[in-house]
Chains A and B, each alone.
Chain A
């Protein structure tokens, strides 16, 4: 490090950053009509809310088991479909397999677009197109998983060892054979690991999907919120939290064993 690199000589750079952040902050405070006085004035509402949340309605718990199991099942099926769909696409989105930059970039662009659509908006759109129901929830989860896993996978494929590919090519294997015999064995454990990772995220997300009527425990959450039964909201969220922790622990253990 030279003396010229210290903060005293580069102060204008930090100043510029701080000024830019302050400007953006000012604009966004203005745009969002921030009113802290109102927030502090009505803080009693939060307190009342927290009081209700602190008293979860445990009698409601037995009625939540069935929708929660449904949520888990929907996540499992959606994740499986999404991963199955993601595998061929992620193969096509790497130059390692296609050997063509243009095709690769077209597929990557397509995958990026799918990944950008927020989960809940995707669900709302699919509900409008397909209709309300659990099947829509599964399709939403599948598409969401597809976007997420395909990106992780093509990044994994980019980093594989190229020697087996060359060996296969040398003995005259075609692209499909290379994909199956040289690429797939190298990424198999990554696929399994990402599947569990996606399942974890999907369990979390599918709790919210019920908000647009896509089935599972989210529907119960939405009902309780709509009826202002915050003791029920509290028990639902506690239950979701507990299940997510269990799923996290189990999938972490499995992922560690796969490595």
Chain B
């Protein structure tokens, strides 16, 4: 038995172990794609990506990049709205401090966990079967996924909240509904609003990818442009997505700071 392992030796062993693990992982990956990679093509693509096709941005039709982006934001907004409203019953069900019975919160949490386990793309594919391809399928997909995400975050906030106000309400004889409205909601409202705004931004980001399976938004146009190697068009679309998300980030950040 070793009496005492010096800390530096321990650290070296750990580093070597991690490195070894990484090499083992890297060795198994098929790197052959890089063999067909040519710098000339790459440089050409990059040069084309630097010249965005401004004409496609706005031409008055409903199929230009500008209106597609607006549509994407609308999908994100409506999806988040649905998710927020439908998350509330799950929060009431799965918050430990609202129930004396320990089983019910566990059931509620399990449901939101399951809802979160499915990727949005899978929901999009399900809802395309239900309402047909189009933006509404994207809205529903985002909405259902957000129930899981917001439900979990809302529940965590509910469980973490300060119970003294609730106790004070109980002390003066308020019933469950009254404590809900006068103690819990005023405390949680700003936090929930902040979380919802944050998730609106996330929803817009995922709405821009849902077009991949035909659930509306800017994604489909982008994929077609990529497949056809129309790089100037790809570039303007990416630029629009980036600028929009950037602006939304700034806006929601500003509102969230005010809420605090």
- Residues of chain A within 8 A of B174, CB atoms compared: none
Which among A45, A132, A208, A225 is the interface contact of B130 at CB below 8 angstroms? A45
- Across the interface, name the chain A residue whose C-beta is closest to B113: A241
Bound-state CA distance A29–B140 (Å) is 12
The contact size tier of chain A is 35 or more
User: Is there contact, CB below 8 Å, between B78 and A28?
Assistant: yes
Interface string of B88-116 (1 = CB under 8 A from A): 00000000000000000000000000100
Chain A binder among B1-9, B53-61, B157-165, B234-242: B234-242
Within the complex, which residue of B32, B139, B238 is in contact with A34, where a contact is CB–CB below 8 Å? B139
Q: Say whether B31 faces chain A, with CB atoms less than 8 Å apart.
A: yes
CB < 8 Å: which of B29, B42, B73, B131 contacts A134?
B29
A124 vs B234: C-alpha distance when bound (angstroms): 11
* Inter-chain contact B246/A241, CB cutoff 8 Å: no
Query: Within 8 Å of chain A (Cβ to Cβ): is B146?
Result: no
- A187 within 8 A of partner (CB): no
Residue interface bits A103-132, CB-to-B below 8 A is 1, else 0: 000000000110011111100110111111
Contact B29 A32 (CB under 8 A): no
List of B residues within 8 angstroms of A225 by Cβ: 122, 125
Given A31-B71, A42-B130, A130-B34, A135-B29 contact (CB < 8 Å): yes
C-alpha spacing A149/B9, complex, angstroms: 28
Contact bitstring B2-40, A, C-beta under 8 A = 1, else 0: 000000000000000000011001101111111011000
A183 vs chain B, min Cβ distance (A): 19
A162 at the B interface (CB under 8 A): no
Q: Does A133 contact B (CB under 8 A)?
A: yes
Q: Chain B binding site: helix, strand, loop or mixed by DSSP?
A: helix
**Chain A interface mostly helix, strand, loop or mixed?**
helix
Q: How far is the CB of A163 from chain B (nearest CB, A)?
A: 24
Is B154 engaged at the interface, CB distance under 8 Å to the other chain? no
Q: Which residue of A lies closest to B125 (CB)?
A: A225
B132 touches A38 (CB 8 A): yes
B130 touching A39 by the CB < 8 A rule? yes
Q: Which residues of B contact A244 (CB under 8 A)?
A: 117
For B75, give its contact among A25, A32, A49 (CB under 8 Å): A32
Q: Please determine whether B29 and A42 come into contact, CB atoms closer than 8 angstroms.
A: no
Nearest chain B CB to A83 CB, angstrom units = 11
Q: Contacting B209 at CB < 8 Å: which of A49, A121, A129?
A: A121
Closest to A27 in B: B74
B223: CB under 8 A from chain A? yes
Q: Mark B41-60, 1 if CB is under 8 A from A, else 0.
A: 01001000000000000000
Are A124 and B226 neighbours in the complex by a CB distance under 8 Å? yes
Partner of A121 from B30, B75, B241 at Cβ < 8 Å: B241
Contacts of B257 in A (CB 8 A): none
Most chain-A Cβ atoms within 10 A of its Cβ — which of B34, B73, B74, B208? B74
Cβ contact within 8 Å between B28 and A70: yes
Q: How far is the CB of A47 from chain B (nearest CB, A)?
A: 10
| Residue interface bits A9-42, CB-to-B below 8 A is 1, else 0 | 0000000000001001101110111110011001
Among B22, B118, B131, B241, which residue has its beta carbon within 8 angstroms of that of A117?
Answer: B241
Q: Tell which of A73, A134, A233 touches B122, judged by Cβ atoms closer than 8 Å.
A: A233
Contact residues in A for B180 (Cβ distance below 8 Å): none
Query: Per a CB cutoff under 8 Å, which of A27, A34, A138, A241 touches B117?
Result: A241
Say yes or no: B22 contacts A80, CB within 8 Å: yes
Does B206 have its Cβ within 8 Å of any Cβ on chain A? Answer: yes
Q: Does A178 contact B (CB under 8 A)?
A: no
Residues of B within 8 A of A (CB): 21-22, 25-26, 28-34, 36-37, 42, 45, 70-71, 73-75, 77-78, 81, 114, 117-119, 121-122, 125-126, 129-132, 134-136, 138-140, 205-206, 208-209, 212, 216, 219, 222-223, 226-227, 229, 234, 238, 241-242, 245-246, 249
